[in-house]
Amino acid sequence: MDTLFAANSLAEFLQALLTLVGIPISAETAYLIAVVTHVALVVGWFGLPAGLFIWAERKISARIQDRLGPTRVGGKFGWLQSLADGAKLIQKEDLVPKDADGLMFRMAPYIVVVASLAAYLALPFSDGWTAVALDTGLFLTLAVLSLEVLGVILAGYSSGSKWALFGAIRESAQMVSYEIPMALCALCPIVTAGTLNLNEVALLQSGGIWNWNILHPFNFFAFFVYFTCATASCKRAPFDLAEAESELVAGFLTEYSGFRWSLFFLAEYASMFLVSGLATVLFLGGWDDGLGILAAIKTASPTGVGSFLANAIGLLFFLVKASVLVCVQIWVRWTLPRLRIDQVMTTCLKYLIPISCFLFAGTVVYPLVLATMSGKTSIIGQPAGERLVQPKKAAGVSSAGAKNESHLRITATGTEGSSR
C-alpha cells in the first residue's frame, strides 16, 4: 500500500506526535488518517483551481477586452463569482435528451473528471510532497491524460445530436494527434535528467536557475512546443474546435447543462493546471527558487523544521509558477483567433511532430557532442552527473537517485535471499 499512497511518513509523524502529547494511537489508525489527509488534499486541490482560475479568466478576459468583469459578488473584485456560478449550475435541471443513450450520457462527465483527477496522482508539489511517488511518474500521468478523450467521445456520441458528434470527432482527432508531440517534448527533459520520476527530475534542477532545464538549448524549444500541445490537449483556444460556438453550437457540450456541464469545466481547468504543473516540474525547476536558497536550507538542515519550511516555501514557488502558466493560457485564449480544423491538424502533423522529433534527437545527442568537444555535458550550470554526487540534500527523500543502496528497492524477499 505504501506504493499506492506514500502516506507512511505522515502516519509515523502522527503516531510519534500523538504519543508525545499523550494520546497513543495504533499504527493502523495513524495510517488511515494519513491516507485520508492525502486524498483530501489532492481532491481539494483538484476542485480549487477550477474556482480560482474561472474567476481569473473572467477578470483577465474582461481587462483584455476593456471591460471590468465581475465586480459585485463577494465585495471587491467579484472574487466569489465562481462560487455563485457553481451554486447556480447545481440548481439547474439535469436534462437528458430524448434520443440520447441515457446511461452513457450521464457517465461521460465522470470519465473526464476521473481522468484529470487521477493525473494528479504522480504530480509532485514540493520535494516528496506527492500523492504517489513513482518511478514511472510521467509515463503514468501521460497514460491517464490519454483517457480523457474517451469521455469526450462518449459525451459526443451518446448525446444523439449531430453537433455533439461533430464536436467529439474533431476533438478526439485533435487530442489523439497532439498527444504525440506533447509526449515527445515531455521526454526531452526526461532524457536530460535520466529518470521518469517527476520528483527526481525537479530535484535535479534545484540549486539555481542555471540548473533549470529551460536553459538547456533543446529543452528551451521543447518547452514552447510542449506548452502549445498542452494548450491543445486542454481544448483551449486557439484550439477549441471541439466547441466552436460559431460552427457547432457548443460541440460535445451541446446537450449538457447544469451540474454535468460544470463537471466538464472543472476537468478542463484542473487539466490546465496539471499540464502547467507538469511543465513547471519538467522545464522550470519545479519548486526551486532559482537562487539556490531553498536548496542551501535543505542541505543545512536535512531533517526537521528547516527542511519542512523550505518545502512549504517551495510549494508556494511551484504554485506561483504553474499559475503563471495557466494565466498565459488564458491570455492566449483571449488574444488569438481560432484556427480551422485543417489548420489545427496541419500544425500538429506537419510542423509540431517533426519539430519535436528533431528536438528529441537533439537532446539525446547534445550531451554526447558536448562531452567529446569540451569534456563537460552542459554549458550553463552544473552537469547532471555532478549534481548527483552533491551531499545529501533533502530530508531523507531520495536526492535524485542518490548513490546509496536504498536506490534499489529491497523487499522482504531480497533481504531474506541475501541473508541466507
Partner 1 sequence: MTAEIILFWLFAFLTCAGAILVAVSQNVVRMAFSLVLTLGSTAVLFLLLGADFVGATQLLVYVGGTLVLLVFGVMLTATGPFTRIKSSPADAILSGLIGVVFLFIVASTVTAVPWVDSEDGNDISQKIKIGTHTKSAEGGFNPAQQGNTTRPLGLSFLSLRADRDLKLGLPSELSAESNTAPVVPGASVVMPGVTPPPKSSVPPSTGYLLPFEIVSVHLLVVLVGAAYLARTKRRATT
- Which residues in 382-401 contact partner 1 (CB under 8 A)? 392, 394-398
> Does residue 169 touch partner 1 according to CB under 8 A?
yes
Long-range contacts of 396-405 (CB under 8 A, 24+ apart): 396/302, 396/303, 397/127, 397/128, 397/199, 397/203, 398/199, 398/200, 398/203, 399/203, 400/195, 400/200, 400/203, 400/204, 401/194, 401/195, 401/197, 401/200
284-303 positions binding partner 1, by CB under 8 A:
303
Question: Cell 513547471 maps to which residue?
Answer: 280
Member of 125, 157, 264, 283 binding partner 1 (CB under 8 A): 157
84-113 positions binding partner 1, by CB under 8 A:
99, 101, 103-104, 107, 111
31-90 positions binding partner 1, by CB under 8 A:
31-32, 35
Q: Are 259 and 300 in contact (CB under 8 A)?
A: no
> Does residue 158 touch partner 1 according to CB under 8 A?
yes
177-216 positions binding partner 1, by CB under 8 A:
196-197, 199
Q: Are 74 and 81 in contact (CB under 8 A)?
A: yes
Q: 104 or 327: whose CB is closer to partner 1?
A: 104
Q: 203 or 214: whose CB is closer to partner 1?
A: 203
What is the separation of C-alpha 347 from the centre of its chain, rounded to a whole number of angstroms?
A: 24
Closest CA to 241 of 379, 142, 347: 347
What contacts 85, CB < 8 A, 6 or more positions away? 54, 262
* Shortest distance, position 28 Cβ to partner 1, whole Å: 8
Q: 359 or 402: whose CB is closer to partner 1?
A: 402
Q: 197 or 347: whose CB is closer to partner 1?
A: 197
Q: Is 414 exposed, middle or buried (0-12, 13-18, 19+ CB in 10 A)?
A: exposed
* Shortest distance, position 386 Cβ to partner 1, whole Å: 16
Q: 137 or 285: whose CB is closer to partner 1?
A: 137
Member of 34, 50, 142, 248 binding partner 1 (CB under 8 A): 142
Q: 336 or 396: whose CB is closer to partner 1?
A: 396
What secondary structure letter does DSSP report for 252?
G
Can you tell me whether residue 158 is helix, strand or coil?
Answer: helix
> Does residue 335 touch partner 1 according to CB under 8 A?
no
> Does residue 407 touch partner 1 according to CB under 8 A?
yes
Member of 150, 315, 349, 357 binding partner 1 (CB under 8 A): 150
